[in-house]
Amino acid sequence: MDYKNKVESYLINLDCTFENLDDSMWLITDEEKGLNNIILMLEEPILIVRINVMSLPTKKREDLYKQVLTLNGSDLMHGAYAIENENLILIDTLEIATLDLEELQASLDAFGLALAQHFKALSKYRD
């Protein structure tokens, strides 16, 4: 199956504003839906959904780590907070072969909800 077209057709059906960054990467820039700067990367057999949430602070890192681990375990429907280089990211991995429109929508909705609900709790750690 042509997974690139599958992802693009789902994004179109979800009425997401997006652009192709290359053959297997898309950038969702849909502020109206609370989905701004979300990257989708097709790396068969998975589709990676990720967003850079914030730079890691120079102080209170341990408190931030405890906060995001707590959120991972109690308040995220899809995906998890993770650390990449010096950034806190939100990431989800979806099996592309069995991915359907509803699963992608659920992942994107969970990202939008998490970013909105967790903004206040996480922003206090910004430098």
* pLDDT score for 59: 94
Question: Would you place residue 33 in the very low, low, confident or very high pLDDT band (cuts 50, 70, 90)?
Answer: confident
Q: Which residue's structure tokens are 């907070």?
A: 81
Any residues with CB less than 8 A from the CB of 40 and at least 6 apart, and which? 7, 11, 18, 25, 26, 27, 28, 47, 48, 49
pTM: 0.92
Task: Please check whether residue 14 is in contact with residue 24, taking contact to mean a CB–CB distance below 8 angstroms.
Answer: no
d(CA 97, CA 20): 21
Task: Please check whether residue 35 is in contact with residue 116, taking contact to mean a CB–CB distance below 8 angstroms.
Answer: no
Mean pLDDT of the region 33-59: 95
Inform me whether the pLDDT recorded for 1 exceeds 80: no
d(CA 7, CA 32): 20
Among 6, 85, 87, CA closest to 44: 6
pLDDT, one tens digit per residue, over 47-93 is: 999 999 999 999 999 999 999 999 999 989 899 999 999 999 999 99
pLDDT, one tens digit per residue, over 80-127 is: 999 999 999 999 999 999 999 999 999 999 999 999 999 999 999 998
The domains of the chain, with CATH numbers, are: 3-123 (3.30.1460.10)
Question: Each residue of 61-90: b (16+ CB within 10 Å) or e?
Answer: eeebeebbeebeeeebebbbbeeeeeebbb
